[in-house]
A and B are shown apart, each in its own frame.
Chain A
């Protein structure tokens, strides 16, 4: 029989596993929120240091919610909020069969730029929820957990984000 996983975050192996599982998500969450990578990494460290300090009180199953609670309560006033800069993946399957005309290409590039700019101009709340879904492929349920709000509220935020993005993109024309 396999040895049961020791439910103790103070255990270096368990702690590392928690880090492997959630560090990137926390990092990205903070990046979407404030657009500052340095700050995002600092937040990850702060959250995990708090977890280590409380490792006796936090069982493995509660580690995730503990981390996000701590992360949401961090006050990192010393960092400047910046604009969220995003990169498009260079190799993506093309949209439809063979629409790669130069015109189409140009139009696509233009739209991509508009989309990025629109995302930058979203409210912090809408942008965070939207990008967690689009980039990190988190379900609404998970996003609700991370943000500490209800699933219904996430749905509303996503809806508003979409509407707001469309508005901004169309206004750029």
Chain B
């Protein structure tokens, strides 16, 4: 039986010449076998290739290593900044309006007209930092350092009431209670109660005393125009956290005028005189209005 790949076996020296010499072209096969064994191996720069390889391998491995770390760092930064951005609260007051912002720790900020105010809701417990562009009056709850950053300078306090104005090139800080630290460029100034400081065009312009208790611009009064008595009372209840009973009042004229939001006795007095009604104090937080019997 003829083996299937006899020539292959012969080439591999598993068969001797005799067993294949009857095959057509044996002479040529023999020459092929003979001369093909004389080829030289290709030139292989074994050592150089290894050096190059080590270099590539090193940098490649390093690169991969770095990529994974870079990716995780990027991811963390990404998540953090998204969280940060999501938790930023932005307030802008329009012209002719004031806006009151309550911060997470119950610090109160009243924005003057045309002002921009920003703080970070989620990170508030770690960092009480706010940004202001415009003017605002602050009543800061006690706690960690409270910072107001403006384009011109920084105001730091612990717990106090103060007003910051930062518009164009003017920075003005007034302290109404406690003390505040104003950082302007390299300079640091501590303001105590009733002191103010202002800078313009990068220079200190004024440092003096103030005598009022709040900035004049902070409106401490409510204006009513042709509003029913019950609506006025609702506003009063809101402003002073009280309960007012007017079920016994027969007067139903609408009210036009101004009521203070920082003096309950004055507000009650104005109302009772306007409507000619009396009020009885049930307790600290509850009042009943009744018709004036003398009328």
Contact A115 B53 (CB under 8 A): no
Contact B28 A27 (CB under 8 A): no
Of A31, A44, A88, which one neighbours B53 at CB under 8 angstroms?
Answer: A44
Contact B53 A28 (CB under 8 A): no
Contact A89 B57 (CB under 8 A): no
- By a CB distance below 8 angstroms, the chain B residues around A163 are 7
**With an 8 A cutoff between CB atoms, is A1 at the interface?**
no
Contact A45 B49 (CB under 8 A): yes
Contact B39 A41 (CB under 8 A): no
Of B8, B28, B40, B42, which one neighbours A159 at CB under 8 angstroms?
Answer: B8
- By a CB distance below 8 angstroms, the chain A residues around B11 are 133, 158, 162
- By a CB distance below 8 angstroms, the chain B residues around A23 are 44, 46, 49-50
- By a CB distance below 8 angstroms, the chain A residues around B35 are 88, 111-112, 115
Contact A134 B37 (CB under 8 A): yes
**With an 8 A cutoff between CB atoms, is B17 at the interface?**
no
- By a CB distance below 8 angstroms, the chain A residues around B29 are 162, 166
In the complex formed, the residue of B with least CB distance to A158 is B8
Of A41, A52, A95, A111, which one neighbours B61 at CB under 8 angstroms?
Answer: A52
**With an 8 A cutoff between CB atoms, is B126 at the interface?**
no
Q: SS class of chain B's interface: helix, strand, loop or mixed?
A: helix
Contact B12 A41 (CB under 8 A): no
In the complex formed, the residue of B with least CB distance to A130 is B36
Contact A155 B53 (CB under 8 A): no
Complex Cα gap A89–B36 (Å): 10
Complex Cα gap A165–B41 (Å): 20
- By a CB distance below 8 angstroms, the chain B residues around A140 are 8, 12
Known: A23-B50, A24-B44, A165-B32. A49 touches B39 (CB 8 A): no
Contact A134 B36 (CB under 8 A): yes
> How many A residues face the partner with a CB closer than 8 A?
46
Of B25, B36, B44, which one neighbours A115 at CB under 8 angstroms?
Answer: B36
Contact A155 B37 (CB under 8 A): no
Of B4, B8, B41, B45, which one neighbours A135 at CB under 8 angstroms?
Answer: B41
**With an 8 A cutoff between CB atoms, is B22 at the interface?**
no
Of A89, A112, A131, A170, which one neighbours B28 at CB under 8 angstroms?
Answer: A170
**With an 8 A cutoff between CB atoms, is A5 at the interface?**
no
In the complex formed, the residue of A with least CB distance to B42 is A31
A162 to chain B, nearest CB (A): 5
Of A88, A111, A159, which one neighbours B39 at CB under 8 angstroms?
Answer: A88
In the complex formed, the residue of B with least CB distance to A140 is B12
Contact A115 B8 (CB under 8 A): no
Known: A23-B46, A45-B49. A136 touches B41 (CB 8 A): yes
- By a CB distance below 8 angstroms, the chain A residues around B37 are 134
- By a CB distance below 8 angstroms, the chain A residues around B34 are 95
Contact B39 A48 (CB under 8 A): no
Known: A88-B38, A111-B35, A166-B29. A41 touches B5 (CB 8 A): no
Complex Cα gap A154–B14 (Å): 14
**With an 8 A cutoff between CB atoms, is B18 at the interface?**
no
Contact B7 A158 (CB under 8 A): yes
A124 to chain B, nearest CB (A): 16
Interface membership of chain B positions 1-37, coded 1 if the CB is closer than 8 angstroms to chain A and 0 otherwise: 0001111110110000000000001001101101111
Interface membership of chain B positions 126-143, coded 1 if the CB is closer than 8 angstroms to chain A and 0 otherwise: 000000000000000000
Complex Cα gap A132–B17 (Å): 22
Interface membership of chain A positions 151-173, coded 1 if the CB is closer than 8 angstroms to chain B and 0 otherwise: 00011101100110110011000
Closest 5 interchain pairs by CB? Answer: A158-B8, A155-B5, A134-B36, A159-B5, A159-B8
Interface residues of A (CB under 8 A from B): 16, 19-20, 23-24, 27-28, 31, 37, 40-41, 44-45, 48-49, 52-53, 86-89, 92, 95, 111-112, 115, 119, 130-131, 133-136, 139-140, 154-156, 158-159, 162-163, 165-166, 169-170
A119-B36, A134-B37, A156-B4 known; 15 new pairs, CB 8 Å cut-off, are A16-B50, A19-B50, A23-B49, A37-B43, A40-B44, A41-B45, A44-B49, A48-B57, A111-B31, A115-B36, A155-B4, A158-B5, A159-B6, A162-B8, A169-B28
